[in-house]
Amino acid sequence: MDRQEIVQWLKCSPGEELDSLREKADQLRRLSVGDEVHLRGLVELSNICSRNCSYCGIRRDNLSIKRYRIKTEEVLRCAHKAVKFGFGTLVLQGGEDPGLTKEFISDLILRIKTETDLAITLSLGERNVDEWQEWRKCGADRYLLRFETSNKDLFHRIHPPQEGQPQCDRVAMLKTLQALGYETGSGVMIGVPGQSYDDLARDIELFAELGLDMIGVGPFIPHPQTPLGMKENVKMAAEQVPNSVEMGLKVLALARIVCPGANIPSTTAFATLDRKSGREMGLCWGANVVMPNLTPVEYRKLYEIYPSKAASTETPEQSRDAALIQIKHLGRTPGRGRGDSPTHLEQLTKPIRKEG
Ligand code: SAH
């Protein structure tokens, strides 16, 4: 699929033609990753962040939220809960918190790996190669780092560098993570002010070029305590992409078509914008993963990257039950085992992993 064709799909109105896109993505999903929906237990480790991203509610300059960092023992309790619930993976996500030191995370990985058989996914933002290498040695399996948008000017506008540091290159970082042997995930927000259809089509091409093992996408949701949540700051692109569920679903489907063997979650952003059917629609438009939240309830509402986040008051048990009911309703089955991506498993059988 070339860029022009992707743009045409992104602009396609609801109707028979768009139905055919959903059907194609759903069929490819079934053929490539099957009917299992993998459940990943999400633990939000810390909302402390040294970065100042203009889209994110836990940015450094948001002084109106109470900050927290979880304790190791609490994460271990979440890990045991994930095992009890039958999940194969624990996802550890957080802000770029200097207190989540190399040693803290290493110790956490080693303890989870000693006490359980869970696969571990890290989503801790931009860290040093030295840290990524060490965590991999300790047993971390996967790393998620969205490149957010392939438009470099837009990325730098919404994601300023650390003070005194050069602009960062998330695409180069993703290649480093792949070379370290991580199952590697990335993705974008859909409808960030300033994002054009051409930008978004380029994002989808980049998913394929990077040969991603995991792809996470979701509509941008403005947060009132951030620059992009304040109307006066917002600069729209000439051909601005809307931040709608419908546009998000098209991107999910196209991601499945360009990367058939990837693990693709129906993300919380869909469930937040459409509480009743957002998550199920994601699963019908190409997704094969859901991430029930296991974060202890007292921290849950503090990890507010965007407002009214779905499931922010649910207990872990309620999050699991809701996911299982939705999976059953769709006639699908909960995934068993770790749920590694076929794309990654294929790479492992090749003698040299693609680099550079
Ligand atoms: N600090 C980590 C984890 C960030 S939270 C990192 O930067 O990788 C995970 C994802 O949530 C981000 O990558 C971003 O794509 C998404 N996100 C953040 N703010 C958002 C918003 N306002 N609307 C929608 N998605 C958002």
Residue with CA closest to ligand 1 atom 18 = 56
Q: Taking Cα atoms as reference points, which of 145, 142, 143, 73 lies closest to residue 112? A: 73
Q: How far is the CA of 20 from the centre of ligand 1 (A)?
A: 30
Buried-state track 223-252, b at ≥16 Cβ within 10 A, e below 16: bebbbbbeeeeeeebeebbebebebbbbbb
> Token pair of 263, please?
């693990």
Domain that holds residue 13: 3-324
Question: What is the model's pLDDT at position 352?
Answer: 58
Instruction: Enter the tokens of residue 272.
Output: 């937040």
User: Which residue's CA is the nearest one to ligand 1's atom 6?
Assistant: 125
Q: Report the alpha-carbon distance of residue 288 to residue 269 in Å, rounded.
A: 16
Closest CA to 128 of 101, 156, 164: 101
From 58, 146, 184, 309, mutation site for ligand 1 pocket: most ligand atoms within 8 A of C-beta: 146
User: What residue ranges line ligand 1, CB within 6 angstroms?
Assistant: 55-56, 93, 95-96, 123, 125, 145-146, 148, 189, 218, 220-221, 223, 269, 305-306
Protein residue closest via CA to atom 25 of ligand 1: 220
Judge whether 331 lies within some domain: no
- Contact at 8 Å (CB) between 80 and 49? no
Give the angle subtended at the CA of 90 by the CAs of 94 and 142, to the nearest 5°: 75
Question: Does residue 74 lie in a domain region?
Answer: yes
Spatial neighbors of 316 by CB under 8 A, at least 6 apart, are: 41, 78, 81, 85, 292, 293, 294
pLDDT (0 to 100) of residue 346: 87
* Residues in contact with 21: Cβ distance below 8 Å, sequence separation at least 6, in sequence order: 9, 12, 250, 253, 254
What CATH number should be reported for the domain holding residue 259?
3.20.20.70
Ligand 1 geometric centre to CA of 56 (Å): 6
pLDDT of residue 311: 81
pLDDT of amino acid 351: 64
Residues 6+ apart with CB under 8 A from 108: 72, 75, 92
Residue 335 lies in a domain: no
Substitution site in 189, 214, 272 for ligand 1 pocket (most atoms within 8 Å of beta carbon):
189
- Measured distance CA(254)–CA(259) in Å, rounded: 8
Q: Does 356 reside within a domain?
A: no
Does 107 map to a domain?
Answer: yes
pLDDT at 233: 76
Residue 75 CA to residue 72 CA, distance in Å, equals: 5
Domain assignment present for residue 344? The answer is: no
How far, in Å, from the CA of 340 to the mean position of ligand 1?
23
Q: Tell me the DSSP string of 169-195.
A: -HHHHHHHHHHTT-EEEE-BEES-TT-
* 291 contact partners, CB below 8 Å, separation of at least 6: 39, 40, 41, 42, 91, 265, 267, 268
Question: Among the atoms of ligand 1, which is closest to the Cα of residue 306?
Answer: 22
Q: What is the pLDDT of residue 353?
A: 54
For the full predicted model, state whether its pTM sits above 0.75.
yes
What separation in Å is there between the alpha carbon of 305 and the centre of ligand 1?
A: 6
Answer yes or no: are the C-beta atoms of 303 and 47 closer than 8 Å. yes
In a domain, 340, yes or no: no
Q: 36 by DSSP, 3-state: which? A: strand
Residue-level pLDDT at 356: 45
CB-based contacts of 231: which residues, under 8 Å, 6+ apart? none
**Core vs surface per residue 265-301: b (16+ CB within 10 A) or e:** bbbbbbbbbbeeebbbbbbbbbbbbbbbbbbbeebbe
Q: Which of 48, 51, 52, 55 to mutate to test the pocket of ligand 1 (most atoms within 8 A of CB)?
A: 55
Q: Whose CA is nearest to atom 20 of ligand 1?
A: 56
Closest CA to 307 of 128, 127, 62, 37: 62
Indicate which residue's Cα is closest to atom 24 of ligand 1.
220
Neighbouring residues of 50: CB distance < 8 A, sequence distance ≥ 6: 60, 95, 96, 97, 98, 162
Residues of the chain with pLDDT under 50: 356
Q: How far apart are CA 91 and CA 295, in angstroms?
A: 10
Number of domains in the chain: 1
Ligand 1 centroid – CA 1 distance (Å): 28
353 in a domain, yes or no?
A: no
